[in-house]
Structure 1
């Protein structure tokens, strides 16, 4: 790093890489970034050096990390805009055409793995097949995995966490199986402990909460509300019905760093799903006081993103109890949620809800969308 900074101070970098003039000291407006853009790119290349043993082409990993954000500061999506710029740089320094094209692909897809891992249902075969099709081969998959980790480390501590790392690794493993065998892995079976024994069933793990109750609508909302009361953020949620039982399995993390009392949480979950306590009444005051501020919320529909559902994506300011309110709104509007994925970045969230059925009617989608936005 000192050698690079010395070369930059004396103007050598601009001669080697004319694009550097535009990138130098470019500010980052997202609070998760700790460096200016030029320093971020150099840092990403340094961080990528930690993963060179994990890939077939460590030289392409380092160059891809160095160029991955070269499109920042220009109009349009920086991944799309940056791909041809990175390809031109790679060709200029002497890389063969196929390797320069691979550098462009790494830049174009450098957000694919974390975006899919945190915003999509990894058990859905269509999710895995879609990523496998775009990646194309395991060499590129490994390079993207190394680049994702380097990019996050160079961004700042808020850009990465253990749960995000596990999600990305899970996606990489499932995509690798699809690329190696040509067969998309089947969805995992429900936890056997949830489909047997008296109801309700509540299981608490290190970062998972699983609940089974007599089949009824609104179980996801009830569980989400109870978790919010105990200041737990839901990262992902899966809902299913098996043999007359409603199952909800959530991956969670403490909102403020301290885990709740497991005995109290388990007791509240049992009372809530049995109808012995009103989550709505207990959460209402706290949710209204904690609602976030920011840009107007937005709903985006993805019709082809899932095997057996339509995907509703909510982009909004983060707030305590948001998942509970939106899940209630969807339930009251007659939409059945099969899965939910919650991605938080700074003060914003992207919540993805898999709604069972095609929902082809414009009027029905408009009604659902209005209910969701009103709940935010």
Structure 2
């Protein structure tokens, strides 16, 4: 049995996690954050884990495991549900970091999460009672310094991987903060760094939380520190998601009505994209596609004809008086549409005197790049 105050605080942290889940959902939808779903689900499942952790402490399940006693009553059920909720929380954390890093498409991150979930359920739900508890008592030494057990080692490793996946996100924000004077970008850069560092700390806590005394630490002090730390992690993630707006814009193509590519630009890299073999080879296909868009898409209200989804990204099409815009993104949304339509109007005015089948001058290209950068880098 543990201190009743500790158990009560566990429930308070769980309530904070559930509240954080609702706040992340609210701001995610409001700000069109494409990554809010996995982060929100992580907060929800981590809250369920805190509830089950409190119940296992409250009913002495952990004490009997440490003492090598046989489980009694609902011990097996409580311990099984505890590990399932903890595993799901860690899996959704990994999926959220993987999706935010944009290393793989969103669909791939969800497939990875689903596969890991099936694997976890196979090892935690199916095993017999003795096997389940033997996992909990299996001791692992990390470089002869840290003592942990099977579940702590696995979950700590997952959190470490989740933290490392945020490094590309941090690098992206650093690059943006260099070219932008926007304070919000610098704030997001700082918050991303904090979340990375906090996840490293969370990985350490997850690794040793069942073997505190074996690592020469005071159990009571560790327990209360873990509660405070978990609460701060929740707060940071909620702030992180409430401030995040990213559509993952990879490429913007400016094309005339004859299908000639006038400009390729990457807002994230802040550089032009060279028209090499793949664009040249695709020009004939694009020309036919553009005429289809001009004749049909631009005259219909059916949204399904305004974008094409691939396995890795979405191609959104915008038709103007003189040109087309093709924007390759990880996700589309209302804010992207507003920026694209505003940019399209400005480009049409700027290129009003451009003759058919004529390429813009270098000066015109530079002006177009400045216009694209102004309108897209903040949501890239």
TM over 0.5: no
TM range (shorter): under 0.3
Question: So what's the TM-score if we normalise by structure 2?
Answer: 0.24
Structure with greater strand share of residues: 1
